[in-house]
Chains A and B, each alone.
Chain A
Amino acid sequence: MSHSKLAGIFNKDEKKVDWHDKALWFVRHKRDLSVHQVKGWEELRNLGHGIKAHTLSHLDVYLEQFEANALKNGVQVHWAANGDEHNQIVHSILKADNAKKVVKSKSMLTEECHLNPFLEANDIEVIDTDLGERIVQLAKEKPSHIVLPAIHKNKLEVDELFQEHLGTEPCDGDPQYLTGEARKHLREKFIHADAAITGVNFAIAENGGFVVCTNEGNADMGAHLAPIHIACMGVEKIIPKQEHLGVFLRLLARSATGQPITTYSSHFRKPGKGVKMHIVIVDNGRSKQLSRPDFRASLHCIRCGACMNTCPIYRRSGGHSYDATIPGPIGSILSPGKDLTKYSTLPFASTLCGSCSDVCPVKIDIHTQLYKWRQIIGKETPQPFIKKKSMAAMGKIFSKPSLYGKVGAVARWALRTLPKSLINAWPNIWGKTRDLPVGPKKSFDQWYKERENNKKTDQK
């Protein structure tokens, strides 16, 4: 389904859309307050961009260095060309130790590879331990935001879900009570887990270590209690040196939620006592994206979600309208690289206002890339009949001033004279939720010329 159709579904509940819009704008505002306190913020963004650009230009070398160091640290390293191979690797690790219960902290990569349904089909229980992810998991939905996975759900919906699945008392959506109950529920899962899966925020080539950031502490609760820790990462998560964490950890949380740093920034390097540690390095289309000069900078992304919070389209259409693991502006430049036809409407889900590029902590030119995808999509995928015809007609009208003048006069007359039912009739989708203004008698051109003439008359 197209982005606009799915956005239409989200917009059926107007009150919810208003709340969603305001809640995310508030997060954007917190980001502003936070970054304005940092001296040299722009320099920090330049460094973030520069370090990532350098790393991509040397990616194979750094990955090999990372692998060699991780092996020295006693960590097993696996490589997966695509999502299927990733899932099979994870499954084989679990199977080897007969692990049946898995706790997982936030990892957009495992969402992208559809790991949960794969493991569940193989009789393995997977519990998402980030509260927001647990909520959407219980609702049998997908995260609608990469940092705030359950931002599309209100507290009463969470209340009902917990009553049904965790046996909680009705509480009118009291967040304190519900979080406390989730804590008890997840503690049980952590204590009895056979294996823990985490994502990776940054993997460090020089020492083979990796960093995971959470506010809840769920990644560490899982990874330290279970006898197996599997960390899954995309190839682009690598950074050359530990000192570069100084840049990225300063950028990440401030851009995401306005916090100066997440509560926990965990640096894993050697396995703990009695723990087997595995790292799965995944390509799944990233090497292809690297080959596209116009779009490779999308691989700089550190998954802060700032572009979503600021986007006027995302805030009003909801994350699920993108029908992709990574929604919002950054998702709209990543997804077409994976499947141009399926995601052909996403680059159009933007006003091209450029706010996403302004807040991006690693200075990805998101709105420019959205524009560039539109050029490609216009040529390579079939466009709707009406759009094609109207674009061709517009092209003719705009290229001939005399024709433009005539059409303008007719349009102004029509807007003054014709009934609303006719003006707003299909195929004018603009008229679906708004009225066009009453057509003025004069065109701007006529008005301007008359004004200039009057000025001259006045001067005489």
Chain B
Amino acid sequence: MRRLNPAAILMLAPTHLLLFLVIALPSIYVFWLSLNESTYGSDLTFVGFNNYVTVLTSPYFWRAALNTLIVVNAVVYIELLIAIGMAALFLGGVRYPKIMFAIVLMPYAISEVVGVLVWKIMLNTGSGVLARTIEALGFGMFNWSVSPPLALSVVTLISIWHHLPFTFLLIYAGMLAIPKSLYEASRIDGASRWQEFWRITLPLTVPAILISLIFRFVFAFRLFSEVWLLTAGGPARLTEVLAVYLYQSGFKYGEFGTASATGWLMVLGSLGVASVYLWAMHRRMVSGND
């Protein structure tokens, strides 16, 4: 290991300048913005925690917070269950693995815009190929554009479709790392495949599951494009999520103060969620080491 010298500091500079100027400094400044009132072209007026009061007493904010909570939890846990099932299926052997992985990865390459476009067309009431199939099967009209719960279900579906490859790969990599000798030992002991899954595969995949939970909660929390492009938060702001609420108050209504307050509340929420799982991981690491 070499001692840090001026040349090495210079090599660190691009990365740390980018992170500091584009993320760290602005996120601190957002806190100052959240304590002031301002709009396009106006100076800042210090108002203390007034913006937080405005946000926290707004029914639209709470609606957005509730929607975010429901959609994020649905996305993360459903996606995780599918990913675990898929990874276990792949672990049991897969023919043409390269082709199968290439196919599984396809949604990862698609823009959120295109993802929304294709699902919107397939689920379009009365004309979409999936909507008509749902109707033909006797489930009635599939009219998500007037039903907030259905619209949010479509958002959940699109989000899972998009991010499943990521979660699947993390879980699968975790399962692959389990020593083969454990399975050989359990075969000798006469364990069934079902027992193997519950007693060996699943417990030893827990670290990978925790990591993918942190990643997915943090990323799902940012949910914006799917909602914005599908419903723009409507009807009557009933399908807004936090990022859409922030975007509306900042860039549509020009209320930078309340938008910044929302931003800081999002930061706190994001860190809160991540810290729960980081704590769980830390505890596992501590108990695993003694």
Do these two chains really belong together in a complex?
no
Q: Which residues of A line the B interface, CB within 8 A? A: none
Q: Which residues of B line the A interface, CB within 8 A? A: none
